[in-house]
Structure 1
């Protein structure tokens, strides 16, 4: 076990940016978000919802006799009700609203260091669609759903970053843990936040890091901060609430020149950084101090956590997978990834029933809990997925562990979705005509209503998984 002193955060050398849509996405005469949405979900209008069925829906009625409304009107009334009951988070305000609020404040002074440039104001209806942080995660979607392995109902929505596309490779996409907000980041050195509705996907804000090509960005489980790393000894923490960036100048006592590869524990207490010579550096999120390290007999390729943050899993290019006790900084188990010449990606399912390992050959092995039995060093996979033939760069379970998404960035359109309970790959999507490009990253929304897919062309594709959308 190793320990270190605190690393005092410094103010980052960064540049805030407010980027509009590209020239291809809007005309010279009219702001994009003032026009009618170019894409509409017709299923919303077809839905019929009774406001008299349950007590919690009766408050949405405009008169005592009102009963049936369609899905669009239902969503609008939910938003209105939410706004009445909850204050708007300050981090989700439009730049123009922030400026207006500052001007109205009696004790506020002119700020020469305004972080965000002005944007055209939007009307109330659009603003509500843009800024509501939790209305998209509806109570009725939390009920258990059993997916059919035979068909996945999925449609393409507007690209998540259509309002501000990246000029370079997308390296990270992640949905906010509690809101319909998506972060994107990559080699254009810019972190962006989008309000996801599948129709317009307004950009909320963006932050450009002058000295860092971003390799990874991840929300803290609280949703209040974002950790940003690249090929540098320093890493950054963006405070979403305060709109400020802090620069953490490396890990005191360590000589690593790059901290680009990291993983944040679901409990929010730890950050694990891949260090040199097989070392994994465990850092306290609260103090930014190193609290210890563990060491593999290999180069660290991927890391993931148990849901409670007690255990860390890691993989290496020799095809070995490790389970670590974080508190004790000790190796509990080590096993050989079946048939692997090199394990390139690793994921633990949210329910911790499955462990997926992607290899340099394109095979993805899914293991069940028997892999954690004592003295098992060469476990047999629960399922070996052989649909891809090039090195796996990303694997991701959805929120209820029924879907596993796997991808390779070495060839175009290399992505598959696995129905985990049945051990079958969905055959109806993606098809040969699905324009994915070379997939670099992906993430499911908190209730799996959306799947976001980043690629090498700077696009973040967005797909609506309709099986989850109205459940």
Structure 2
């Protein structure tokens, strides 16, 4: 049951496991701060990206086998190392990663002003098979649900829409539609009809994918604070946003109103870094990493009631969090150079 009807109160026994009950199943380290992460659509692969310009791709089954060898079927072949690829083709910080929805392709964005596409089926390929160069450092990148286009944002306010096959770039031709400052987060709706952007100018915008034009703007979405993250629900009807004011909001797109505000994170004051509000895989919970305490704040998505806090075990700010779309698993990427893979094993 996804967030199709927010008035519907679910029986607690039918909820997915609370994220605070997950455990660290694997930790991987980079040589510098880790600031980007992604799950593949099937949930079998994870990617992490670092300020050291490297990208790692990890196999979820191998991470789970490493953390609980007693659960691995003894008849199976010995599992290999969880890190199945390390990609070195950027020259500066990796800012964003996304997997192609259907193919074994990873797209990366970097402060080196490049977007790169990697074919991850090729074990020996350390380099991208396609590179798109921009004039500005690239901050965000995301695949369309069909995989034929990507949206990207840079330190410049204008959003780019690229054709993956031809690398042709499209931008909205109407100056008044654009953000006034850089875009911190950008995502396609699951139905592919539109995309959302959250900006340092404090606004959230909704764009039509076909015309590439803005059709709705939530001005001062977070009381004037920078918007840090945007995330659609699976039915494409609602948008979850977070801001530098440490507040998380759920918007109904049909009415342009904020339905729910999730409060109580960041009680020690204003956060310094961008953080993401995300749903778990069933949309029963909203998750947000609290910067001051490096703990995970979780709420019931419908009632907005707080769940128990959980320490994320990092020695630095958590700079990125992403939950699997298919399983009770999430990834935290931190300034302590590490990425932690969290998982909830069956307890029965």
The normalised TM-score by structure 1 is 0.51
The structure in which a higher percent of residues are strand is 2
Computed over aligned residues only, the root mean square deviation of the Cα atoms, in angstroms, reads: 3.0
**SS state of the match for residue 81, structure 2?**
strand
Aligned to 2:204: 280
Q: Could you list the runs of 5+ residues in structure 1 that have no partner in the other structure?
A: 1-133, 138-146, 424-471
Partners of 2:230 and 2:249 lie apart in 1 by: 9
Distance 1:243 1:232, change over 3 A: closer
Relative to its length, the structure with more helix (as a share) is: 1
Question: How do 1:287-366 residues align onto structure 2 when only pairs under 5 Å count?
Answer: 287-294=211-218, 295-297=221-223, 298-338=225-265, 340-341=267-268, 342=271, 344-361=275-292, 363-365=294-296
C-alpha displacement of 1:160: 4.2
Residues 33-432 of structure 1 aligned to structure 2 (within 5 Å):
151=68, 155-157=81-83, 159-162=85-88, 165-197=89-121, 199-201=123-125, 203=127, 205-248=129-172, 252-254=176-178, 256-275=180-199, 278-294=202-218, 295-297=221-223, 298-338=225-265, 340-341=267-268, 342=271, 344-361=275-292, 363-365=294-296, 367=298, 370-373=300-303, 376=304, 379-408=305-334, 410-413=335-338, 415-420=339-344
TM-aligned CA deviation for residue 404 of structure 1: 0.9
User: What is the number of residues matched between the two proteins?
Assistant: 270
Q: Deviations over 1:316-373 (max 9, x none)?
A: 23322111001111111012144644472221123213321012225342536x3412
Q: How far off is 1:267 after superposition?
A: 2.0
Point out where structure 2 has 5 or more consecutive residues left out of the alignment: 1-40, 45-63, 70-78
Change (3 A) 1:182 1:322: same
Instruction: State the structure with more CA Rg.
Output: 1
Tell me if the contact between 1:338 and 1:381 (Cα under 8 Å) persists in the aligned partners: no
Kept in 2: contact 1:349–1:355 (CA 8 A): yes
Once the two structures are TM-superposed, the CA of residue 315 in structure 1 deviates from its matched residue by: 1.4
**Deviations for 1:146-171, whole angstroms, at most 9, x for unmatched residues?**
x7896287724453424xx2111111
Q: Offset of 1:398 from its aligned partner?
A: 1.9
| Alignment TM-score, normalising by the size of structure 2 | 0.68
- 1:256, distance to aligned residue in structure 2 (A): 0.7
